[in-house]
């Protein structure tokens, strides 16, 4: 009996992995989003028993990513995940906001099939480009029966969408999973699983997302020594729907900033406290007046609050 091949769909979004510089020695002065996804996968080995399909969803520097790109990407993911012959999806993406896109897709798709985001810290023209190996590893994860749900693969490490953070500005091994640790490692095309893949219901269906112009506006402010109230007051006056505060330590907030946030909350603005620390979470205490962010980083808490306010 002939066994049908698994189909892996590669969705291109741009980023450094698709970047081009004038010199192979230049890893900084490049333009992101120059190469198409077809070029990126042209010479990457395909996992045995798999075939590839490619689609360009966007081709931008991920620092410029917006709600419109998130909506389009989630809808294309939902389309391909519904195809029975598709075993998984790989998304090539810039690293600057990769953790945000991963969490967003986790929140609106909650897929059983693997959706694997990858990127690169060096442009495609670099003498030591890391993109091809990252794509090869991502394809291996997408083809593996051990993988499920949304994850991030870089430098041979598989990170969960909830925990993954960019923790270094330059080195190739730039991502971490905090105190939760990685999900798995990719070793010569094989997946070595370390812990259970996170699963959970979607906070909002990708197909029911409103037009990006109708999304509730949620902003992030940071608590620090000498923090004041002016920024929060300006945001409230400007009609913000929610505010996430990147608090110090275990969710502590400068008294002036806290006063402004409490006043905003009384005026109907949704407020959440996340920690600006790279590891750990805000532990709740009796009498907390500002709700915590359920262990999410500030940027992910912003996404969760936007989706919550859509309900």
Domains of the chain and any CATH numbers:
6-193 (3.40.50.1170), 216-310 (3.40.50.40)
Q: What tens digit of pLDDT does each residue of 222-279 get?
A: 999 999 999 999 999 999 999 999 999 999 999 999 999 999 999 999 999 999 999 9
Look up the pTM and report it: 0.96
Average pLDDT score over residue span 23-48? 95
Q: What tens digit of pLDDT does each residue of 162-192 get?
A: 999 999 999 999 999 999 999 999 999 999 9
Which phi and psi (to 5°) does residue 44 adopt? -90, 135
90-94, 198-202, 284-288: range with highest mean pLDDT: 90-94
**Residue 1 scores a pLDDT above 70:** no
- Confidence band (pLDDT; 50, 70, 90) for 206? confident
Nearest Cα to Cα of residue 308 among 160, 202, 163, 222: 202
Q: What tens digit of pLDDT does each residue of 107-155 get?
A: 999 899 999 999 999 999 999 999 999 999 999 999 999 999 999 999 9
Cα angle 305-56-104, degrees, rounded to a multiple of 5: 15
118: which strand partners?
92
pLDDT of residue 151: 97
Task: From the candidates 16, 95, 97, 118, give the one annotated as an active-site residue.
Answer: 16
Q: Report the chain's mean pLDDT, rounded to a whole number.
A: 95
pLDDT of residue 270: 98
CA 222 to chain centre: 21
Check if 101 is active-site: no
Question: What Å distances lie between residue 60 and 7, 15, 36, 213, CA to CA?
Answer: 26, 6, 11, 20
């Amino acid at each position: 009996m002939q066994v049908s091949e698994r189909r892996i769909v590669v969705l291109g979004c741009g980023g450094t992995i698709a970047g081009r510089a004038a010199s192979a020695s230049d890893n900084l002065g490049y333009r992101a989003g120059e190469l198409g996804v077809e070029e990126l996968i042209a010479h990457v080995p395909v996992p045995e028993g798999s075939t590839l399909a490619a689609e360009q969803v966007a081709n931008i520097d991920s620092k410029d990513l917006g709600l419109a790109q998130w909506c389009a990407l989630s809808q294309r993911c939902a389309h391909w995940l519904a195809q029975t012959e598709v075993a998984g999806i790989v998304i090539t993406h810039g690293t600057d906001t990769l953790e945000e896109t991963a969490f967003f897709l986790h929140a609106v798709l909650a897929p059983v099939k693997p959706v694997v985001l990858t990127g690169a810290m060096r442009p495609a023209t670099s003498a030591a480009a890391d993109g091809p190996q990252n794509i090869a590893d991502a394809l291996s994860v997408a083809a593996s029966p051990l993988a499920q749900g949304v994850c991030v693969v870089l430098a041979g490490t598989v990170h969960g969408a909830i925990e993954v953070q960019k923790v270094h500005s330059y080195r190739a091994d730039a991502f971490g999973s905090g105190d939760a640790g990685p999900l798995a490692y990719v070793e010569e095309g094989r997946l070595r699983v370390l812990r259970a893949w996170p699963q959970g219901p979607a906070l909002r269906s990708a197909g029911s997302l409103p037009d990006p112009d109708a999304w509730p506006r949620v902003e992030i402010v940071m608590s620090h020594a000498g923090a004041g109230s002016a920024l929060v007051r300006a945001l409230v006056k400007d009609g913000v729907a929610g505010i996430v505060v990147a608090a110090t330590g275990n969710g502590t907030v400068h008294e002036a900033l806290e006063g402004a946030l409490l006043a905003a909350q009384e005026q109907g603005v949704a407020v959440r406290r996340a920690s600006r620390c790279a590891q750990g979470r805000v532990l709740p205490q009796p009498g907390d007046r500002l709700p915590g962010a359920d262990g999410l980083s500030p940027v992910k808490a912003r996404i969760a609050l936007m989706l919550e306010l859509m309900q």
